[in-house]
């Protein structure tokens, strides 16, 4: 699943839980910590000051309205709240929120999670289930009636222009396998941070032509991926009404992934300015001359693959051009190194559970008790106002900092080595930078040697030499 890059955090202060209201800052902090843990990027915060007491009256909540509008328009692609009751207390509103989520595809998380361990989680799941159920029923009704309509007319809906990937005149019921293959290849390239220009070049190199019999351009490739048809999404007057029952080049989820990538690329990164695209680029050194090797996509005889090579047109670490003598397929090397990194992560001992000095609950209870006593004495008239408010604000700020430490400790505990393995195994492209950080905690560098031409036999294991972190150069991997 693609991680949201423009998350909106919704925080709300209300006076309806006596004495227990969570400060807006504390809600925001917890939400930001959650986003960091999930690898989501925060775009903006929607602070609502909603101090009316009633939970039943239809309240005006301008920030909530604006946030939903932003989500509908795609300005934000994820929403994070401290808990469901910060978002809304009214079932009808929650239902329409979840429906909006389904329709517009933004992601949603609460710091309390949505597991069934909490009453909130159970409620959300129940409602999600009900919404899904209703949606399914509605969809099958729509499809049935449209199929019936088509059948009553006695012929399928007449043509329109052919869409790349589908057989002409088949009314989107049959695909062209070679074109599906190209669409899927392009999908993988786009997910691997290649550009639509790279896809156009790959398709042209494979001898493919557009349905109008022209060469592929960036615009024409984009048009293919923008078409809901290739994701099997059936539309009626511009609205999605369900999934095609016939074969289609991409799944709905894959199609949605591509939309996210295309949307985020409206201003393409300059070449060389972006982040690294490959897990091990930068780590691979030419075994012959010691230059840092390049990793690139190549299309040779219609086959597209990654290769790594000593670049003879690029100045290497030693201040001279690479020797150009080493040129290897990248996939094999990546596989070997992946095995090595994963093995190293599994060998690492899990960090011991947090020590008892990280348990703040006693101290928090004591402070809360002192605040209650203080309040009672003031109510009984044993304290004058000035003393009361002085002591109260002092205790409150102490309590706030304890609670902050408590939540920080929870975050620390969740970042054990076990999580490193989980982060490692998530090979989503959006996770690349974190995975590269893990690589750099295991591998210092890898010397890559030349192997013979042809690909009948896999390369020998000692055709690469790995220098692990904190170790002298070592022999074969494996």
Residues that bind Zn ion (CB under 5 A): 286, 288-289, 291, 310, 322-323
At 2, list the tokens. 């693609």
Q: Which is nearer to Zn ion, 312 or 373 (CB)?
A: 312
DSSP state of 315: B
**Nearest approach, Cβ of residue 458 and Zn ion (Å):** 22
**Nearest approach, Cβ of residue 324 and Zn ion (Å):** 6
**Distance in angstroms (rounded) separating the CA atoms of residues 151 and 146:** 9
**Nearest approach, Cβ of residue 319 and Zn ion (Å):** 13
Q: Which is nearer to Zn ion, 312 or 401 (CB)?
A: 312
Q: Which is nearer to Zn ion, 321 or 344 (CB)?
A: 321
Given a contact cutoff of 8 angstroms between Cβ atoms, the answer to whether 49 and 13 are in contact is yes
**Nearest approach, Cβ of residue 232 and Zn ion (Å):** 47
**Nearest approach, Cβ of residue 477 and Zn ion (Å):** 20
Q: Which is nearer to Zn ion, 250 or 326 (CB)?
A: 326
Q: Which is nearer to Zn ion, 317 or 382 (CB)?
A: 317
**Nearest approach, Cβ of residue 466 and Zn ion (Å):** 18
Between CA 133 and CA 135, with CA 134 as vertex, the angle to 5 degrees is: 90
Q: Which is nearer to Zn ion, 35 or 286 (CB)?
A: 286
At 143, list the tokens. 């499809």
Between CA 149 and CA 154, with CA 150 as vertex, the angle to 5 degrees is: 115
**Nearest approach, Cβ of residue 285 and Zn ion (Å):** 8
Q: Any alpha helices (H) in 216-329, and if so which ranges?
A: 218-226, 252-264
Q: Which is nearer to Zn ion, 255 or 309 (CB)?
A: 309
Given a contact cutoff of 8 angstroms between Cβ atoms, the answer to whether 280 and 333 are in contact is yes
Neighbours of 165 (CB within 10 A): 25
Long-range contacts of range 366-371, CB-CB < 8 Å, 24 or more positions apart? 367/395, 367/398, 367/399, 367/402, 368/399, 370/395, 371/395, 371/396, 371/399
Pairing outcome for strands 303-309 and 294-300: antiparallel
Residue 96 contacts by C-beta under 8 Å, 6 or more apart in sequence? Answer: none
């Amino acid at each position: 699943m693609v991680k949201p890059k423009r998350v909106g955090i919704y925080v709300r202060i209300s006076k309806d839980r006596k004495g227990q209201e969570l400060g807006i800052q504390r809600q925001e902090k917890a939400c930001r910590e959650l986003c960091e843990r999930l690898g989501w990027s925060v775009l903006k915060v929607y602070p609502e000051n909603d101090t009316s007491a009633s939970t039943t009256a239809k309240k005006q909540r301008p920030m909530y309205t604006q946030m939903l509008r932003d989500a509908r328009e795609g300005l934000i692609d994820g929403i994070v709240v401290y808990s469901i009751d910060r978002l809304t207390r009214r079932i009808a509103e929650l239902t329409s929120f979840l429906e909006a989520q389904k329709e517009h595809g933004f992601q949603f998380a609460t710091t309390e999670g949505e597991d069934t361990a909490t009453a909130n989680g159970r409620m959300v799941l129940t409602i999600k289930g009900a919404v899904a159920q209703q949606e399914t029923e509605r969809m099958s009704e729509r499809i049935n009636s449209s199929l019936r309509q088509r059948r009553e007319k006695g012929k399928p809906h007449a043509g329109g222009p052919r869409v790349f990937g589908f057989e002409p005149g088949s009314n989107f019921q049959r695909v062209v396998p070679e074109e599906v293959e190209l669409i899927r290849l392009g999908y993988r390239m786009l997910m691997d941070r290649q550009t639509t220009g790279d896809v156009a070049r790959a398709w042209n190199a494979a001898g493919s032509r557009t349905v109008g019999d022209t060469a592929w351009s960036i615009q024409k490739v984009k048009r293919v991926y923008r078409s809901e048809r290739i994701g099997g999404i059936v539309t009626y007057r511009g609205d999605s009404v369900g999934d095609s029952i016939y074969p289609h080049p991409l799944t709905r989820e894959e199609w949605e992934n591509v939309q996210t990538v295309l949307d985020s690329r409206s201003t393409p990164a300059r070449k060389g300015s972006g982040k690294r695209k490959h897990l091990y680029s930068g780590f691979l050194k030419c075994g012959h001359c010691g230059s840092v090797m390049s990793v690139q996509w190549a299309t040779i005889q219609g086959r597209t693959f990654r290769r790594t090579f000593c670049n003879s047109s690029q100045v290497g670490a030693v201040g001279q051009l690479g020797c150009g003598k080493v040129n290897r397929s990248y996939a094999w090397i990546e596989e070997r190194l992946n095995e090595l990194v994963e093995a190293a992560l599994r060998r690492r001992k899990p960090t011991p559970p947090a020590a008892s000095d990280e348990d703040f609950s006693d101290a928090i209870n004591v402070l809360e008790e002192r605040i209650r006593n203080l309040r009672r004495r003031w109510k009984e008239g044993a304290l004058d106002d000035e003393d009361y408010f002085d002591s109260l604000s002092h205790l409150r700020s102490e309590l706030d900092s304890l609670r902050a430490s408590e939540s920080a400790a929870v975050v620390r505990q969740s970042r054990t080595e076990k999580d490193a393995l989980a982060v490692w195994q998530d090979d989503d492209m959006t996770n690349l930078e974190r995975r590269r950080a893990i690589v750099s905690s295991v591998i210092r560098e890898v010397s890559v040697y030349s192997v013979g031409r042809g690909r009948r036999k896999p390369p020998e294991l000692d055709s690469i030499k790995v220098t692990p972190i904190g170790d002298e150069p070592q022999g074969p991997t494996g």
